[in-house]
Amino acid sequence: MMEMNKVIALESRLRGCSNVLTLGVKTNFGAYSAQEADLIRAADKIYYPTTFYADLFDAVGKKTFPSYHTYKCVQDKIKQTALFNLAGISHPRTRVFYGDRQKGLILQYFSYPFIAKIPRGSALGQGVFLVQNGKDLDAYCGMTHVAYIQEYLPMDRDMRVVIIGNRAVHAYWKIAAPGEFRTNVGAGAAISFEPLPEKAIALAVKASALCRWDDVGIDICEHDGQFYILEANMKYGKEGFRQAGIDYLKLMEKMIQNGEI
């Protein structure tokens, strides 16, 4: 018998929350049982529907968490950069070059060293390169048809601010490992809970509101007294929560119960 008093989730991220019924992700909607399909249709909101179903639920006017707008920018640095620029959000100078002809123009816009990233689908610091010379650039350009080039802002740390709903629920520093330019925890960065500048947290909250993202880890750096949003991570890890002693599932249970998400 299905538990009718629980909210409905598809992805497993909330599995273990006492007030969530996780149905799982089925690539064919017809694979859900009649009772499961009725629960999905009747729900006011579907939690963690996946990018595929978020699009469909939006088409029929059903709310989701995260929002449909959040899903539109998952692991897509090109869309994120365009949105930051459109919304007037501070972001390192970045340009996208399509195909070999445009790649030939990179050095007209950027001087070594600069950052090059695989623009879609990369995470955990993978697909991020410090390009210091022509050999590095040739190697990078051979990996991707679309070149995503960003100015290099020297740093040994940046900040992660996690926004859930409309507020910052957690924030911490990510300190790069010795000899490493990347500040990703997956690349060996250490986590520090020294207080973050209030301006950085305010920038993350403002950016998430402008972009209509309601479940996101926003990475911010400070350079020459200015704060820049580096990127948004919709599939952020939970290591920062674990090290801080924050029970992520209990936090989400409470936010659902309080109607915050």
Q: Indicate whether 134 and 168 sit together in one domain.
A: no
pLDDT at 124 over 60: no
Question: pLDDT band at residue 23, thresholds of 50, 70 and 90?
Answer: very high
**Residue appearing with tokens 């674990």:** 242
CATH classification at residue 221: 3.30.470.20
* pLDDT at site 125: 55
CATH classification at residue 104: 3.30.1490.20
**How much is the pTM?**
0.93
Amino acid identity of 75?
A: Q
pLDDT at 132 over 90: yes
Let me know if residue 2 belongs to a domain. Answer: no
- Write out the H or E segment, with its range, that includes residue 151: strand 146-151
* pLDDT at site 1: 41
* pLDDT at site 126: 73
Structural domain span for residue 45: 7-65
| 138-165 CB burial, b ≥16 within 10 A, e <16 | eebbeebeebbbbbbbeeeebbbbbbbb
Amino acid identity of 93?
A: R
Stretch 29-44: mean pLDDT, rounded?
A: 97
Each residue of 43-63: pLDDT tens digit?
999 999 999 999 999 999 999
- Number of independent structural domains in the chain: 3
User: What is the rounded average pLDDT for all residues in the chain?
Assistant: 95
